[in-house]
Amino acid sequence: MCGITGIIRWKQRPTDRIEIERMTQAVAHRGPDGVGFLQRDGVALGHRRLAIIDPETGQQPMSNEDQTVWVTYNGEMYNFAELREELEQQGHRFRTRSDTEVVIRAYEAWGAECVRKFRGMFAFGLADFKNRKLLLARDHFGIKPLFYRSGDGYVAFASELPALKQVDDGPPTGNLEAVELFLRYKYIPTPHTIYREVRKLPPASYLLIDFDGRFEEPKRYWDFRFQPESGISDSEWEERAASVIHESVKAHLVSDVPFGVFLSGGADSTLVALQMSRILKQPVQAFAIGFQEKEFSELPYAEQAAEKCGIELHSEIVREDMLAILPDLVAHYGEPFADSSAVPTWFVSRLARAHVPMVLSGDGGDESFAGYETYREWMRTDPMKQAGDSARELAPRAVLWWLRKAARQYMSQGTLNNLSEWQWHMQYVGEDERRALWRDEFHGLVGRRSEMFDEAHSKARNFSRLSYAQYMDYQTYLPGDILTKVDVASMYHGLEVRTPLIDLRVIELAASLPLDQRFRRNGSGEPVRKYLLKKVLGRTFPPEFVHRKKQGFGIPRAAWFFKGQSGRRLWDEIVMDPGSRLYDWFKPEQVRAQMELHSDAHDNSGPLWLLLVLGIWLDQNREIHFN
């Protein structure tokens, strides 16, 4: 992986070498193996390299032979060998073995639509000096980030938000609407950022910018629909899933450097580690984090998985003082981001980077194969099911038929999948609680809509209940929270993380699964989420390992906010400071009340963590004016 930066200016003055150097230095942690720049005709590109493929000749920015096309690229393309062969058959000649050059040749052959052919994770900026266009593009799922800032006479882009504060312009303007979205979701959904002038490029999108500054909205180049296949037996589904996951893991292992795997001990990471152990000849190195608080530590399961797979496990116990890194971590995210599992992700990434520059992870299994508890609750409130259940109890068959027909009509109008209901399931701080926090003059912000949620709902409103939930997570929670968390926490240490369960081939499989391969009840009537994935894992691991209660990668957050603990000390230092900028917008008595609500009987650590992160970020960015 790498850090990329760039800027085009079309009036006032030419690009400044010092400017692009400052921007690129801000992402230096993403690429410790090299640095490069291009400055030409009002365009400047910067690159920090983490060398994974072709370390000798893959330096960037990279150009074609006549230097009319230059690219700064952050990513790994898993089908680059196949694309290279296809392009060579068209007459293109290659000077390197890198996937970066494949991006250049693919653009020469197919223009901006070349991204449709890529399989991998990527974000890049490509300058076409012949046609005077800048192409910004991001991978299908949003694994790799890309931000862009527009101002008077320029557009700049970067892998991380802090780089865009290095542009020769005034400080960007803070966005209070984004603060409301943050309170609601614990992250700021695409395309918004904490700054009004800065946007996130959506997943599966590209943006073309003329060198004279003209550009339109990003164009989406890919999407998917859930279209379940019928007539396939359980055993055939199991074989198909095992084959697809094995192939994806194998494709994600292309590398010229050593690598390992994050192994939490959960089903997803264990399945990835198992496939790696079967593919590789050398022992797999795995990395896991445990906690002193046994109820939060999955380390015993990681040890069990490592022994079963015959892999070498490196582990570390993270202690209560781990929150000492929180201010630095908040600064690296560049905007308020309150998924507390970013903290253990930071520690496991540090552990892994001491041994290897690249790892695989099990992220994406819950979205692809329906593993979240949220899905169970969402299906429990299915209006169509409730109508059928009521009719069976109260009405004869004719009335039951009528009720189901009416339910189908409602579903065709999208009313069975209600966006407000879904957002109620997903919200972090409820609307009433948010309204109570905001000072009266800011109540107009409460309930601010998210374009990404609206757009995803418009496409998925007619999906089945479970498919709707999965699609919504793919478009919002996965890129906005999960992938953002992993990218920043790992690239802080210059560690590349690959996600074989977030892959085009795996998603094609997941989108074809009938309901009973995603969600099925066992003999006791209990729901089995991720049914098919667990069937594959159950070939090797015993039922008590495969079907234990889902734990997640959390921290003992509630305990850390009690008196004398590190979270409480940070809260008192940051949030309770009378000079905190939180009180520019929030009622002091309502902020203090959040701590009063926290007790052994009531865990209120979610809102506490959110306000703590926001308070730290505001303290670090006092020069930012909000409106």
Active site residues: 2
CB atoms within 10 A of CB 295: 8
Helix or strand (DSSP H, E) at 272:
helix 267-279
HSE-CB for 220 with a 13 A CA cutoff: 12
The Cα 89–Cα 70 span in angstroms is 23
b or e along 148-169 (b: 16 or more beta carbons within 10 Å of the residue's beta carbon)?
bbebeebbbbbbbbbbbbbbbb
The Cα 165–Cα 334 span in angstroms is 10
User: What is the three-class DSSP state of 521?
Assistant: strand
Burial label for 297, CB within 10 Å (0-12, 13-18, 19+), is buried
* DSSP bridge partners of 535: none
The Cα 387–Cα 404 span in angstroms is 7
Q: With contact defined as beta carbons under 8 Å apart, do 335 and 360 qualify? A: no
The Cα 358–Cα 444 span in angstroms is 46
- Sheet containing 147-151: give its strands across: 34-40, 43-49, 2-9, 154-158, 147-151, 198-200
Helix or strand (DSSP H, E) at 63:
strand 62-63
CB atoms within 10 A of CB 91: 7
- How far, rounded to the nearest angstrom, does the alpha carbon of residue 63 sit from its chain's CA centroid? 30
Q: With contact defined as beta carbons under 8 Å apart, do 341 and 554 qualify? A: yes
HSE-CB for 147 with a 13 A CA cutoff: 28
The Cα 450–Cα 227 span in angstroms is 26
- 542, 555, 612: which is closest to 580 by C-alpha? 612
Peptide bond into 258 cis (omega under 30): no
Helix-helix angle 373-380:419-426, to 10 degrees: 140
Q: Can you read off the two tokens belonging to residue 310?
A: 């015959």
Contacts by 447-451, CB closer than 8 A, 24 or more apart: 447/180, 448/177, 448/180, 448/181, 450/181, 450/185, 450/189, 450/192, 450/476, 451/189, 451/191
Q: Can you read off the two tokens belonging to residue 412?
A: 């065709």
The Cα 104–Cα 114 span in angstroms is 10
The Cα 623–Cα 614 span in angstroms is 15
C-alpha gyration radius of the chain = 25
User: What is the three-class DSSP state of 408?
Assistant: helix
Burial label for 268, CB within 10 Å (0-12, 13-18, 19+), is buried
